[in-house]
């Protein structure tokens, strides 16, 4: 019998705030507008920026977790401060896991795509005057290194960097470690912090919206980027929420555009549903970026496989957080399962009449939510999908 994997505690941060702020935003009647920021060239764009008061300072990190000073390779720029801020609410729970299983039996798998880019940008912006800067400050492994130090873990620790599927793949990878018996529990998820370099890259592709993003909207013109992410504790011990299934695929159709017929995406969704032993979920948390091609492709996949399932994208609230996007989608799923509500698809545009018909929620509604499918798609045609189920009375 395959070992079941359950989601226990979780911690999130985004432009909406922490778990409580995110819960309030996804069930609100109207989305809070993402803030305007200046890009590298001084142009104004919308961005999902985390309020500074949610991010632990470097001074506080060193006071709260003095043992991190033993690792002289750690730097505490915005990315690692975000990691520490996500870790702080889970510290007691992780300590309990270590006491229960041992530090070598708890894994850490983190998705990231920006990692130490903010530290690298600062080094160049300040005229390369930081004598402590090392090229290793740019490593994708940096958030995992910081979290390993904070949690005092001795089990498998690694980073997955597959652009916008990174944190979804990290959750899948962590679940496989538990199922294989390599570990008994895992901390997983993903995050990315604000990076002007990354923003410039998406602008060069013409993918950034001129104002607020309108996923699946008739007049959509691109994404709003953002920063944030989430961490989850996975365990083989039962909880109300099961990571019940997943699917992964690659189409390699184009370096940045999705395969328009959504064949590989549908393959991943089918695998996740089959593994979860269901025909369709109650709710789909869509990748929903607001680009013309992604939304066309994703709507087609949902229409073909789950035409009557409620759908929304929460990137209208958080922005597209890249390595943290899949993790924040999973948090939205857990919040919906907990509240027994369907989040609203909060846009200020008509739904595009030319895309395949899907059941977008115009506003949040109360209803029976027992299963959620979360979509994540990324450059190069790599796709990752997970299904989260809530126990019903029949399961007890």
Which CATH number characterizes residue 97's domain?
3.40.47.10
Over residues 1-21, mean pLDDT? 95
Residue 90 pLDDT class (50, 70, 90 cuts): very high
Task: Return d(Cα 260, Cα 300) in angstroms, integer.
Answer: 9
- What's the pLDDT at 393? 62
- What's the pLDDT at 392? 74
H or E element at residue 304: helix 292-305
Taking 80 as the threshold, does the pLDDT of residue 180 lie above it?
Answer: yes
Question: Is 33 inside a domain boundary?
Answer: yes
H or E element at residue 334: helix 325-339
Question: Is 52 inside a domain boundary?
Answer: yes
Q: Read off the pTM.
A: 0.96
Taking 80 as the threshold, does the pLDDT of residue 116 lie above it?
Answer: no
Residue 11 · residue 90 · CB < 8 Å = yes
Question: Is 336 inside a domain boundary?
Answer: yes
Question: Is 134 inside a domain boundary?
Answer: yes
Question: Is 396 inside a domain boundary?
Answer: no
Over residues 204-226, mean pLDDT? 97
Q: Which of 7-11, 136-140, 148-152, 287-291 has the lowest mean pLDDT?
A: 136-140
Give the count of domains, the chain: 1
Which residues, in sequence order, are CB contacts of 369 under 8 Å at separation 6+?
282, 283, 336, 337, 340, 341, 342, 390
Distances in Å between the Cα of 358 and the Cα atoms of 148, 204, 236, 297, 393 are 42, 31, 35, 12, 30
Taking 80 as the threshold, does the pLDDT of residue 227 lie above it?
Answer: yes
- What's the pLDDT at 320? 98
Question: Is 342 inside a domain boundary?
Answer: yes
Over residues 154-175, mean pLDDT? 97
Nearest Cα to Cα of residue 360 among 346, 340, 341, 375:
346
Taking 80 as the threshold, does the pLDDT of residue 250 lie above it?
Answer: yes
Alpha-carbon torsion (287, 288, 289, 294), positive or negative: positive
H or E element at residue 25: helix 19-26
Token output for 290:
């607001």
Question: Is 222 inside a domain boundary?
Answer: yes
Question: Is 208 inside a domain boundary?
Answer: yes
- What's the pLDDT at 128? 87
- Domain of residue 49 covers 6-391
Taking 60 as the threshold, does the pLDDT of residue 394 lie above it?
Answer: no
């Amino acid at each position: 019998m395959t070992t079941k994997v359950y989601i226990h505690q979780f911690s999130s941060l985004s432009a909406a705030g922490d778990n409580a702020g995110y819960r309030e935003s996804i069930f609100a009647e109207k989305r809070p507008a993402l803030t305007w920021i200046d890009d590298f060239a001084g142009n104004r764009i919308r961005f999902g920026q985390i309020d500074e008061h949610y991010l632990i300072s470097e001074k506080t990190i060193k006071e709260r977790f003095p043992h991190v000073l033993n690792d002289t390779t750690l730097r505490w720029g915005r990315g690692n401060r975000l990691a520490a801020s996500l870790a702080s609410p889970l510290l007691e729970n992780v300590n309990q896991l270590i006491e229960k299983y041992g530090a070598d039996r708890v894994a850490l798998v983190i998705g990231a795509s920006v990692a130490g880019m903010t530290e690298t940008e600062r080094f160049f912006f300040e005229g390369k005057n930081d004598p402590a800067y090392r090229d290793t400050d740019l490593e994708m492994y940096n958030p995992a290194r910081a979290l390993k130090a904070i949690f005092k873990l001795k089990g498998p620790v690694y980073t997955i960097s597959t652009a916008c599927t990174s944190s979804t793949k990290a959750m899948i990878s962590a679940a496989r470690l538990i199922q294989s018996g390599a570990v008994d529990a895992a901390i997983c998820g993903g995050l990315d912090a604000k990076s002007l370099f990354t923003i410039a890259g998406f602008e060069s592709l013409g993918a950034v919206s001129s104002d607020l993003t309108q996923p699946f909207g008739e007049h959509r013109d691109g994404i709003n980027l953002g920063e944030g992410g989430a961490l989850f504790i996975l365990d083989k011990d039962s909880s109300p929420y099961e990571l019940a299934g997943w699917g992964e695929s690659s189409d390699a159709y184009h370096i940045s555009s999705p395969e328009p017929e959504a064949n590989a995406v549908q393959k991943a969704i089918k695998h996740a549903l089959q593994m979860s032993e269901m025909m369709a979920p109650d709710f789909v948390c869509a990748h929903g970026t607001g680009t013309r091609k992604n939304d066309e492709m994703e709507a087609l996949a949902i229409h073909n496989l789950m035409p009557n399932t409620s759908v929304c994208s929460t990137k209208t609230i958080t922005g597209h957080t890249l390595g943290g996007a899949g993790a924040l989608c999973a948090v939205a799923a857990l919040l919906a399962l907990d509240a027994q509500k369907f989040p609203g698809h909060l846009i200020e545009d008509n739904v595009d009449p030319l895309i395949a018909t899907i059941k977008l929620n115009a506003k949040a509604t109360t209803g029976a939510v027992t299963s959620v499918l979360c979509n994540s798609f990324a450059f190069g045609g790599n796709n990752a999908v997970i299904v989260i189920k809530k126990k019903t009375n029949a399961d007890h």
